[in-house]
Structure 1
Amino acid sequence: MLHYRTQELSPTSPWVTFVHGAGGSSSVWYKQIREFRKGHNVLLIDLRGHGKSERGMWEKGDTFAEVSKEVIEVLDEIGIEKTHVIGMSLGTIVAQTIADNYPERVKSLILGGAIIRFDIRTKMLLWIGRATKLFIPYMTLYRLFAYIIMPLKKHEESRLVFVNEAKKMCQKEFIKWLSLTSLINPYLSRLQASTTAIPTLFLMGDEDYLFIPPIEEVVRRHQAFEFVKIKDSGHVCNIDQPDEFNKLSIDYISKIEQQNAIVQFG
């Protein structure tokens, strides 16, 4: 089972599950925990091969479906029937997959630095990574990815957090996660079409130049989705602007909880 840790406020408080991105771990949410635990039960998970979770869990043909199932196994272990899910970067794909395969378990999605499509620049970057993964050290590739995705001086803290966390991985784990991106665009398009019934908030740094355009396009098509740009922030907006990220997320969860209460009690 994946490594996880919880901070429980009360049996009646809503659960919020945090899903980190590739190369990170549950520790990347260090600027969220204090605020969220004031009114929520918090679940922090290390995805396979990350943080304190086990290495070598991959089997041939594994996809995001298997990764998302492992998160559900943690929910079952704890006894969480439904949860709000907050994802970051590649973790937003895991979050959307959970919502697609287990919609009855998800109250809402909050997708920070969301990845819903790779453009030509991102696909080229990933192609280079897959083409050189066997003979270039994975940390060299990861540092390159981090600088391209988070290029500005003000993004330095975010880069350092993810680079330092990625050092805890190994080459084989990095390669396995990288391989999941090979056929991602058709998969992501299907996910957005299938999860429109679940309340979804996209939180994007206004300097997240690679991933904002696809978000703007999908929000125009699916008006059920909400989208907020966070000023002076790059891809990892929960670290760059934590106060704004926390406020927007907590306000959104409160709104969904109120709507659910109205439906339940009529």
Structure 2
Amino acid sequence: MRIMTKDCVGLHVEEAGEGLPILFIHEFGGNHESWEPQMRFFARRYRCISYAARGYPPSDVPESIDAYSQQIAVEDAIGVLDALNIEKAHVVGLSMGGFATVHFGLEAPERALSLTVAGAGYGCEKEFEDYFRNVSLEVADNFERIGAREFSKIYSLGASRVQFQNKDPRGWQEFADRLATHSGKGAAMTMRGVQARRPSFYDLETRLKAMKVPTLVVVGDEDDHCLQPGIFLKKTLPACGLSVFPKSGHTLNLEEPTAFNSLLAEFFAQVEAGKWGERDPRALPGQIMRTK
């Protein structure tokens, strides 16, 4: 189906199943089809929704950078729920989608049953902040100059993608082939407008400490620039759990679909049972052993 955002951008939306809703938000290197292993698994018990972000065909590809930002990405996610008459949903995002999920919790906590933030953190580390912004603009230029079909051959072999290729060559090839079909213009505008300009998690510390939505953070142990931001979220968010997948990179939901689905299923079950609360105040971070 197709919905219209408040600024009249058409978004392609797909859904399957019935029950409590799950909204899946894809990463920069993926699209709505990247969630197929989760759509198939969770549609047995849930109403699953996936959509192509603006800039990702068959959604519209606005030409102006002003049509792309982290705030707009969150508004689009909320707009999808509004269009489907969904009051609250489990929100699951990977990488770029994980950032959108965090901001969803900050902007509209009342609309989230839970938040799953997977593989999110690129650009957050202060020592790499300038490098990330500069390399993001370089990536944008490459997508625009040579197109997704050619640049995907480089981008799909990043340091946190080769784990997927080594484990599942066929699955990785599907990821690379899908990346090659992206809009060069849409990828460039997304990289410039969203990725290169979004705030670091560390800059949001005060707001994050006040955000009490049940949250699960998932990172791969070889996704180096997401590890420390993931630990930061664990220590900062009041109702947050952290899972680290061993020998894993960035594309977690595709690289380890069985483990990812099982982890989410247990998380959802605990949230729905009211068992995923804030950290016990007795679990003092500074205490090593109790003496009295």
Mapped partners of 1:241, 1:133: distance in 2: 28
Partner of 1:193: 207
Query: Is contact 1:149-1:210 (8 Å) kept?
Result: no
Mapped partners of 1:113, 1:34: distance in 2: 21
CA-CA distance at 1:55 after TM superposition: 1.5
Confirm or deny that 1:251 pairs with 2:266: yes
Query: Is contact 1:157-1:240 (8 Å) kept?
Result: no
Confirm or deny that 1:241 pairs with 2:256: yes
- C-alpha root-mean-square deviation of aligned residues, in Å? 2.7
Partner of 1:4: 13
Mapped partners of 2:171, 2:252: distance in 1: 9
Query: Is contact 2:17-2:44 (8 Å) kept?
Result: no
Please give the secondary structure, in 2, of the residue aligned with 1:189.
helix
Query: Is contact 1:26-1:51 (8 Å) kept?
Result: no
CA-CA distance at 1:166 after TM superposition: 2.4
Rate the CA distance shift 1:51–1:231 in 2: closer, same or farther, 3 A. farther
Query: Is contact 2:212-2:237 (8 Å) kept?
Result: no
Matched AA of 1:34: R
Confirm or deny that 1:124 pairs with 2:131: yes
Q: Which aligned segments of 4 or more residues in structure 1 are displaced greater than 6 angstroms? A: none
Among all aligned residue pairs of Structure 1 and Structure 2, give the percentage whose two residues are the same amino acid.
21
CA-CA distance at 1:150 after TM superposition: 1.6
Matched AA of 2:186: E
Query: Is contact 2:57-2:183 (8 Å) kept?
Result: no
Partner of 1:148: 159
Please give the secondary structure, in 1, of the residue aligned with 2:120.
coil
TM-score by length of 2: 0.77
Which residues of structure 1 form unaligned runs of 5+? 261-266
Mapped partners of 1:222, 1:70: distance in 2: 24
CA-CA distance at 1:207 after TM superposition: 2.2
CA-CA distance at 1:239 after TM superposition: 1.0
Equivalent of 2:106, from 90, 100, 107?
100
Residues 79-123 of structure 1: CA distance to partner in whole angstroms, max 9, x if unpaired?
100000010111111112222222211111011212264345575
Matched AA of 1:172: K
Mapped partners of 1:106, 1:51: distance in 2: 27
Corresponding pairs, count: 257
Mapped partners of 2:50, 2:34: distance in 1: 10
Whose radius of gyration is greater, 1 or 2?
2
Confirm or deny that 1:56 pairs with 2:62: yes
Partner of 1:263: none
Confirm or deny that 1:160 pairs with 2:173: yes
Confirm or deny that 1:78 pairs with 2:84: yes
User: How does 1:9-88 map onto structure 2 within 5 Å?
Assistant: 9=18, 13-56=19-62, 58=64, 60=66, 62-88=68-94
CA-CA distance at 1:4 after TM superposition: 0.5
Query: Is contact 2:114-2:215 (8 Å) kept?
Result: yes
Rate the CA distance shift 1:173–1:188 in 2: closer, same or farther, 3 A. farther
Matched AA of 1:7: A
**Greater alpha carbon shift after TM alignment, 92-101 vs 74-83:** 92-101
Matched AA of 1:84: H
Residues 116-148 of structure 1: CA distance to partner in whole angstroms, max 9, x if unpaired?
643455753551341464464243555434323
Which residues of structure 2 form unaligned runs of 5+? 5-10, 276-292
Please give the secondary structure, in 1, of the residue aligned with 2:247.
coil
Partner of 2:146: 137
Please give the secondary structure, in 1, of the residue aligned with 2:185.
helix
Rate the CA distance shift 1:157–1:87 in 2: closer, same or farther, 3 A. farther
CA-CA distance at 1:154 after TM superposition: 2.7
Residues 33-72 of structure 1: CA distance to partner in whole angstroms, max 9, x if unpaired?
2220121111111111214211126552641111221222
Please give the secondary structure, in 2, of the residue aligned with 1:259.
coil
Residues 228-252 of structure 1: CA distance to partner in whole angstroms, max 9, x if unpaired?
1123321111111111100110111
Mapped partners of 2:182, 2:99: distance in 1: 20
